[in-house]
A and B are shown apart, each in its own frame.
Chain A
Amino acid sequence: MNLELRKVAIRDICFDTENKIADGCLHVDPKALEELILEDSRVKAVSFDIARPGESVRIVPVKDVIEPRAKLEGGETFPGLFSEDMGEAGSGITYALSGCAVTTTGPIVGFQEGVIDMSGPCTEYTVYSQLNHLVMILEKQEYIDQHDHEVVVRLAGIKAAKYLATLAFDCREYETETYEWKAIGEKYAEYPQLPKVVYVYNCMAQGLLHDTYFYGRDAKVMVPTMITPLEVMDGALISGNCVSPGSKTTTWMHQNNAVIQELFERHGKEINFMGIVLNPLMTTLKEKFRDRMLTVRQVKMLGADGVLISQEGFGNPTTDLMIVCQELENAGIKTVIITNEDAGMDGMSESLPDSVQEANAIVSTGNSNATVMLPAMEKTIGNLKEVERVCGGNVTSIQEDGRLLLEIHGIMGSHNLQGNTKLGAITV
């Protein structure tokens, strides 16, 4: 299987009367895009806004961040979402609009999601601050309940992203990345001298706003499964809008999974990247034990010497992280895990809600309880008041002078658990 990823750099977004990409600027005709989104009769109204890096703009509450990607040949991106039938993703030619995102906002139920600031200290915490955002503000029809509301928002974002990326087919300037993915035996034979590494890819599967979709199907009804990194790049995995802003895996983070990128970087040099096991993080202990068994079995079938486990969410998912790590270590497979910490606002608490002694190689993406004071922004896209109900925010978050005191939890992607952040924590 071969995938050619053509990355077209988007340096700006503007509204226009036609949709096109010219000189690195994504021109968007909001009327045309509105028509596209209103094809779904469950949408009552939709509007768009633009947020650029460096601007005094805050987007809140953010639901999902999606990189526009579309296929010139070899099937479709985001397969299984808009049709009954689907082909395997991960081969052919895919265009990606790098440097930009379709970002959905708006309340769905009770609690809300996080903050992205386009300037100020927030930009250090999240890669999203470096992107040009086409923000979609969507209003549902009254008769749509909360579960369907999430579906509508999720599909609308993906639909817009998939459409906008097709504009890149005319672009002459792009960077090309090529990836190949061979059968297990071939991969094994290719670098027999290198340690075989498998990536265990944890994803949330716990209910409304705590879900992941694989080929458009709910991860709650799947078992741990071997997948290819190439299909992940093509949008086979999308976010179900998980509500923990700092630790959620947005669709953008799936598409640009930092662990996959790094494993490809070292493949054939220091390691032999053998495969991925996608592990849904379920709610009951019985399911956690079953998924541990199935995950570890597939890791062994892939012949792993070493495993890297990435995470999503915190709390009960920490149990999945720990028990899989324990089982792998006990099977003699060297394991490294990525997690964030909840060490309390003062950093003096134990960091994790569950632990095993075998977890002796941990990368920390920071203490999510630590606070940061964000300056007031000139413009808010969405609703600032929702900050009071996000993870990491509360009624005292909005200061009189408009500044925002947040636990870094509240910043989208602040401690991304595929390691797409430079944030970490040390003991002093």
Chain B
Amino acid sequence: MKKILFYTNQFFGQIGGEEFAYTEPFVEEGKRGNANAFAPAIQGGEIVATIVCGDNYFVENMETCKAFIKEQVERFAPDILIAGPAFNAGRFGIACCETCKFVQSTYGIPSITGLYWENPGVEMYKADCYIMEVGKSAATIRKAIPLITGFVNKLIAGEPLGTPKQEHYYPKGQRVNVFHEKNGAERAVDMLVKKLKGEPYETELEISVYEKVTPSAPLKDLTSAKIALCTTGGIVPMGNPDHMFAATAKFWKKYDLNGLSELPRGKFESVHAGYDPVYANENPNRVAPYSTLKILEKEGVIGEVYPYLLTTTGNSTSVADATRMGQEMAEDLLSAGVSGVILTST
């Protein structure tokens, strides 16, 4: 028999309405309030305790509430947490989601709540716990109970979960690999035939809309500018001492070039697996043109060259990793008073 911890608020916990929204959290063994409506539909599991907390108290005292929930999780050692459902209720939604997020991330205990799609908690927390698609108000509880308990029963039985659409929870936004019955070519022709017939089909990947980066305004005066050189061309010191990846890099490196007028041949190489590196290995300045910048500095065209190379491998790097590395590089450059950057790619 799996143990289930239930979380609810003052209203569904049958304390009272808005005037009891500052009720401090308390726990009762077994079922209380709307937990009673869920219990009969759960198979192979039992609601061992119900936590009740006023919505205002929760959102204004989150840390205290989480400490309380921590005590209860450690006391009852539940296998699953059910919170709410909160329908379209804002504060209750936050309380349910925060509770789920805390329990899920701290203990790895599957935590489930239910929200109406317009509830802001969906966008805020869908990546952190299972949020089931329920109706707008408590009047839809008759539909919410079988939905949530059906999902919980699958978790209890260890049955494989279907897609978010099949299970009716909001996708967490995580891409997970699966093996299909048909290979990619068969699926592609299936999709094309449907598309040609005007029948509904489902793309396997929704196109994201990316943030467009607006280029900075040009520098007004190069002669006083401090220019840095960055590259995604995988240029590193010979021998790759920091083990820069050939692809899917997760980090970038900063190499000291003080006293150098170029990247010396034979002292730097490319580890990038996405282009023919022979020419860059012959002369690394072909990919990271430090020599050219130093000439421009000497000629007085640019004020100063930042004497470091900021480098990574831009090859099958995820957008998230690339964005993070870009931000980290920018912080370094800003703190060094760099006013312009030449970023070379391959």
- Give A contacts to B, CB under 8 Å: 109-111, 124, 145-147, 195, 197, 206-210, 243-244, 258-259, 261-263, 265-266, 270-271, 283, 305-308, 310, 313-315, 334, 336, 338-339, 341-344, 346-353, 355-357, 359-370, 388-395, 407-409, 416-428
Q: Which residues of A contact B205 (CB under 8 A)?
A: 339, 341, 351-352, 362, 364, 425
22 A-B Cβ contacts within 8 A? Answer: A111-B277, A207-B275, A210-B274, A210-B275, A258-B184, A258-B185, A259-B189, A262-B185, A310-B185, A336-B195, A343-B318, A350-B319, A355-B210, A361-B203, A362-B203, A367-B175, A391-B273, A409-B316, A419-B183, A422-B181, A422-B183, A428-B172
Q: Which residues of A contact B207 (CB under 8 A)?
A: 352, 355-357, 359-360, 362
Chain B contact-residue range equals 35 or more
Q: Which residues of B contact A365 (CB under 8 A)?
A: 184
> Bound complex: CA of A341 vs CA of B171, how far in Å?
18
> Bound complex: CA of A390 vs CA of B186, how far in Å?
30
Is A427 a contact of B174 with CB atoms below 8 Å? yes
Q: Which 3 A-B pairs have the closest CB atoms?
A: A419-B184, A207-B276, A419-B185
Is A271 a contact of B174 with CB atoms below 8 Å? no
Interface membership of chain B positions 40-57, coded 1 if the CB is closer than 8 angstroms to chain A and 0 otherwise: 000000000000000000
Given contacts A262-B189, A363-B188, contact A347 B176 (CB under 8 A): yes
Q: Which residues of B contact A111 (CB under 8 A)?
A: 246, 271-273, 277
Q: Determine which of A314, A339, A359 lies in contact with B316 in the assembled complex, contact meaning CB atoms within 8 Å.
A: A314
Q: Which residues of B contact A310 (CB under 8 A)?
A: 185
> Which residues in chain B, 129-173, are within 8 Å of chain A measured between CB atoms?
161, 163-164, 171-173
Interface flag for B117 (CB, 8 Å): no
- Taking the closest CB of chain B, its distance from the CB of A414, in whole angstroms, is 10
Is B316 a contact of A350 with CB atoms below 8 Å? no
> Bound complex: CA of A368 vs CA of B161, how far in Å?
22
Q: Determine which of A109, A314, A423 lies in contact with B179 in the assembled complex, contact meaning CB atoms within 8 Å.
A: A423
Is A306 a contact of B195 with CB atoms below 8 Å? yes
> Bound complex: CA of A208 vs CA of B278, how far in Å?
8
- Taking the closest CB of chain A, its distance from the CB of B311, in whole angstroms, is 15
**Total cross-chain contacts (CB, 8 A):** 250
Is B188 a contact of A338 with CB atoms below 8 Å? yes
Given contacts A209-B276, A361-B201, contact A419 B171 (CB under 8 A): no
Interface residues of A: mostly helix, strand, loop or mixed?
loop
Q: Determine which of A109, A210, A336 lies in contact with B192 in the assembled complex, contact meaning CB atoms within 8 Å.
A: A336
> Bound complex: CA of A325 vs CA of B277, how far in Å?
30
Given contacts A355-B210, A391-B316, A394-B245, contact A270 B276 (CB under 8 A): no
- Cβ-closest chain A residue relative to B244: A394
Q: Which residues of B contact A419 (CB under 8 A)?
A: 183-188
Is B204 a contact of A362 with CB atoms below 8 Å? yes
Given contacts A124-B179, A206-B275, A409-B247, contact A426 B188 (CB under 8 A): no
Q: Which residues of A contact B321 (CB under 8 A)?
A: 344, 349
Is A259 a contact of B185 with CB atoms below 8 Å? yes
Given contacts A263-B189, A419-B185, contact A346 B248 (CB under 8 A): no
> Bound complex: CA of A344 vs CA of B321, how far in Å?
7
> Bound complex: CA of A369 vs CA of B207, how far in Å?
18
Interface flag for B111 (CB, 8 Å): no
Interface centre among A209, A265, A342, A409 (most CB of B within 10 A): A342
Interface flag for B219 (CB, 8 Å): no
Given contacts A244-B247, A266-B189, A364-B205, contact A423 B177 (CB under 8 A): yes
Given contacts A262-B186, A425-B175, contact A270 B248 (CB under 8 A): no
